[in-house]
Amino acid sequence: MTPPAAPLDLLLLPTWLVPVEPAGVVLKEHGLGIRDGRIAFIGPRTHALKLAATEVRELPGMLLSPGLVNAHGHAAMTLFRGLADDLPLMNWLENHIWPAEAKWVDETFVRDGTDLAIAEQLKGGITCFSDMYFFAKVASERVHNSGIRAQIAIPILDFPIPGASSADEAIRQGIELFGDLKHHPRINIAFGPHAPYTVSDENLEKVRVIAEELDAAIHMHVHETAFEVQQSLEHRGERPLARLGRLGLLGPRFQAVHMTQISDEDLTLLVESNSSVIHCPESNLKLASGFCPVERLWQAGVNVAVGTDGAASNNDLDLLGETRTAALLAKAVAGSAAALDAHRALRMATLNGARALGQESEIGSLEIGKAADIVAFDLSGLAQQPIYDPVSQLIYATGRDCVKHLWVDGKQLLDDRQLTRLDEQQLCATAIAWGQRISGHTE
Ligand SMILES: CSC[C@H]1O[C@@H](n2cnc3c(O)ncnc32)[C@H](O)[C@@H]1O
Ligand SMILES: [Zn+2]
């Protein structure tokens, strides 16, 4: 006789359950059970109600989906939100953001800015984010404390940055943090060479060797603008992606952020290397950087995920809104209304993000055995009625204010829109104080 299964810790009974895998499926009258932080049951409601469960939550009018994965951002830059708007990339970076970072970014800044970013992301349905910012150890501590999941990419540039006096120093710190956190259940350390125009061949080679040795991901801004490609052609005689290919960086662990410029040769390199592309449409629009041809990449078989980029170039960390922008923009860029339909857009914001971060066996879809990283969207409001296809409604007609509950590893981090582990009022007060200091109102 097989012993009866242990009771579920939690049984969720939503109106719609969208597993994302298999693609295009919407389950009605179904339940999802969680045990020990993992998805232990998905099945018809009638069956679910016969199971022993410590807690049962009816979720009427709600759609349960995998937590959103924000595949690119600079978390602590929340404290620079709105500091330098309406500028093109290099002017924005060189004349505004890098000077502000040199003046203000220290461990306290990263602590407070990362906490603010985590809170904003949890409230927006994001259960996992990728971060690429200074003082990565501090960011990893904030992720650990908050309960969210993250990939933390160690920033590497040829020049001194806050927290590291050289690329060698940054790489050394990265190796140490990788070792410290290699068994962490929610944190992965990656290497983040900033961009082709800020990292030499010599330092890129070092990153390749270390990432290969540790089996770590490489996360990098690539082909963000036409200017970047043109400069590289003028000074090096090759396109940045081709250079990365020549140096051996491309591969399934490579995450190319932006990719607004894609030649036929670039596409072949991405496909053959099985690299992922991280699309950040709102940052690309705001900095007038260009358009990533998502549908062309998708049809060629490239894994495309979505990211917000930092709050200084977006200016929010709203991945649901970003996904809507991505879906709309993809149609305009492809010249086809069928490009990036709502179901594929949701897949891009969940399972593709998980895959880009090397996490698809753990997260990104609601499947038995995966971590219980789940979000409940409330579709009962008037702006969502009537509902023919709840996924269409979610992508095209729903804002992040409809995020009602959220779990990471089965732990509830958002309950009825309230953060369970972070103090929202305190976070606001701290952010306001930083804003006053930075804009020169005090001190
Ligand atoms: C490598 S640490 C982060 C570094 O990148 C800067 N940054 C933020 N957004 C962008 C972007 O869209 N393109 C290039 N660089 C960006 C950030 O300010 C830090 O200096
Ligand atoms: Zn970025």
What are the structure tokens assigned to 413, written together?
A: 């981090």
Model confidence at 379: pLDDT above 70: yes
pLDDT band at 442, cuts 50/70/90?
Answer: very low
Shortest-distance ligand to the CA of residue 130: 2
Pocket test for ligand 1, best of 85, 93, 231 (most atoms within 8 A of CB): 93
* 403-429 residues labelled b (16+ CB within 10 A) or e (exposed): bbbbbbbbebbbeeeebeebeeeebee
Is the minimum distance from the CB of 133 to ligand 1 under 6 angstroms?
Answer: yes
User: Residue 2: is its pLDDT beyond 80?
Assistant: no
Q: Is the pLDDT of residue 5 over 90?
A: no
Tell whether the model's pLDDT for residue 443 goes beyond 60.
Answer: no
221 lines ligand 1 (CB under 6 A): yes
pLDDT of residue 4: 72
Q: Please, what is the average pLDDT of the chain?
A: 97
Those residues with Cβ within 8 angstroms of residue 332's Cβ, 6 or more apart along the chain or in another chain: none
Query: Which atom of ligand 1 lies closest to the CA of 161?
Result: 20
Mean pLDDT, residues 73-95 taken together: 97
Q: What is the percent of the chain where pLDDT is above 90?
A: 98
pLDDT at 1: 65
Does 57 score more than 70 pLDDT?
A: yes
- pLDDT for 215-250, tens place per residue? 999 999 999 999 999 999 999 999 999 999 999 999
pLDDT in tens, 295-343: 999 999 999 999 999 999 999 999 999 999 999 999 999 999 999 999 9
* pLDDT of 261 over the 50 cut: yes
Please work out whether the CB of residue 219 comes within 6 Å of at least one atom of ligand 1: no
What is the 436 CA–ligand 2 centroid distance (Å)?
25
Quick check: CB of 364 below 6 Å from ligand 1?
no
Averaged pLDDT, 40-69: 98
Any ligand 1 atom below 6 A from CB of 73: no
User: Is any ligand 1 atom within 6 A of the Cβ of residue 97?
Assistant: yes
Residue owning the nearest CA to atom 19 of ligand 1: 133
Residue with tokens 């049951």: 41
Q: Which residue has the tokens 């000077």?
A: 99
Distance CA 317, CA 326 (A): 14
For 51, counting Cβ atoms within 10 Å of its Cβ (0-12 exposed, 13-18 middle, 19+ buried), the class is middle
Share of the chain above pLDDT 70, in %: 99
173-193 pLDDT tens trace: 999 999 999 999 999 999 999
Kindly give the distance from the C-alpha atom of residue 132 to the centroid of ligand 1, in angstroms, as a whole number: 8
Q: Average the pLDDT over each of 3-12, 20-29, 153-162, 347-356 and give the range with the smallest value.
A: 3-12
Model's pTM, two decimal places?
A: 0.98
Residue 286 CB–ligand 1 contact under 6 Å? no
Give the other-Cβ count within 10 Å of 18's Cβ: 23
Atom of ligand 1 nearest to the CA of 258: 12
Angle at 182 (CA atoms; ends 126, 248), nearest 5 degrees? 85
Does the model's ipTM exceed the 0.90 cut?
Answer: yes
Average pLDDT over residues 95-117: 98
Average pLDDT over residues 147-171: 98
